[in-house]
Structure 1
Amino acid sequence: MPIIDDKQQPIPLDEHLCFSLYATSRAIQKLYHDGLSQNGLTYPQYLVLVSLYQYHNVTVKKLGNLLALDSGTLTPLLKRLENEGLVKRQRSKKDERVVNVCLTAAGTKKREEVNELPEILVKKSHFSKTEWDQLESLSNKLFENITAKD
């Protein structure tokens, strides 16, 4: 935790958790890059496929919540995946404002082709299962706390 002295000196870069998380996120994306680019995917597209593989048929709104993406970011992403035949979007028959999205057979296959990426990250981390579980738990807790509505 950053320690601020009486003079309120600015916190050095190496004590900024935000920078550590940012740099780590970029390093993970770089680690995933080769496997994703070989399969014609970007990191955000990969996350969509992972979510849809897990949750199957969801609304675009729920998918946005799962991925912490707004509709302005998610909609073009889904359009591109749909144009590539990986997802299917369909308006709800009960409520035209609701759009459901699911993986196609090609999307399911593509998701399964990049299944090893998380394992590569775990191995590269050299963390024990306990350390990995702690990191994941604390990261999720931090996200929930800072995004909670006050």
Structure 2
Amino acid sequence: MEGDLRLENQLCFALYDAARTMAGAYQAALTPLGLTYPQFLVLLVLWEEDCRTVSQLGSRLHLDSGTLSPLLKRLETLGLVERRRESQDGRAVTIRLTERGAGLKSQAASLQGDLRDHLAMSDEELAALHVLAARFCTAARSPMGGTPSPADHT
């Protein structure tokens, strides 16, 4: 069908636009804290479980070390994390929250509530969107089992 190549019909564009819009909404809320959205994501992982290696953070955030290292250096400069080279394996670097980094958690929790209120979507809609996005990412990261059909608008 000729309409299949229209931008507004593309799932890839809808997801791209949604991701950029969400990052932008967070960025506006994070600016007063002096954080970027990617830095916030690193802090989210550390608030769940502190003392992660760079490799563990990269795996969790789906980032390579070339992307993650500058983020971590900046967070360290801001006094939010500290990096320590492990003595057992000189190659392993552990990232720990500082007291200041841990203290931002409560401010971040209120940011999320404010953003949720701004979206004017029900908790059920947001939960369904979250589940579908996670399912999509899992499916997209798995090896392709075949050729997508033309109806798959990806």
TM-score range, shorter chain: 0.7 to 0.9
Higher relative contact order (CA 8 A, sep 6+): 2
Distance 1:85 1:142, change over 3 A: same
Q: What is the match of residue 72 of structure 1?
A: 66
Q: Is 1:100 aligned to residue 94 of structure 2?
A: yes
Q: CA deviation at 1:102?
A: 1.5
Q: Is 1:140 aligned to residue 139 of structure 2?
A: no
Unaligned runs of 5+ in 2: 145-154
Among candidates 31, 41, 44, match of residue 47 of structure 1: 41
C-alpha distance in 1 between matches for 2:30 and 2:69: 20
Q: CA deviation at 1:72?
A: 0.3
Task: Give 4+ residue runs of structure 1 displaced > 4 Å after superposition.
Answer: none
Secondary structure at 1:114 match in 2:
helix
Q: Is 1:109 aligned to residue 74 of structure 2?
A: no
Question: In the alignment, is the contact (CA less than 8 A) between 1:88 and 1:103 conserved in 2?
Answer: yes
Q: What is the match of residue 16 of structure 2?
A: 22
C-alpha distance in 2 between matches for 1:113 and 1:77: 20
C-alpha distance in 1 between matches for 2:143 and 2:71: 27
Q: CA deviation at 1:13?
A: 0.7
Under a length normalisation based on structure 1, what TM-score does the superposition of the two structures give? Answer: 0.86
C-alpha distance in 2 between matches for 1:128 and 1:112: 23
RMSD: 1.7
What count of residue pairs does the alignment treat as equivalent?
Answer: 144
Unaligned runs of 5+ in 1: none
The residue identity in structure 2 corresponding to 1:122 is R
Under a length normalisation based on structure 2, what TM-score does the superposition of the two structures give? Answer: 0.84
The residue identity in structure 1 corresponding to 2:67 is T
- Percent of aligned positions that are identical: 38
Secondary structure at 1:88 match in 2:
strand
C-alpha distance in 1 between matches for 2:19 and 2:3: 27
Q: Which structure carries more helix by proportion?
A: 2
C-alpha distance in 2 between matches for 1:55 and 1:69: 18
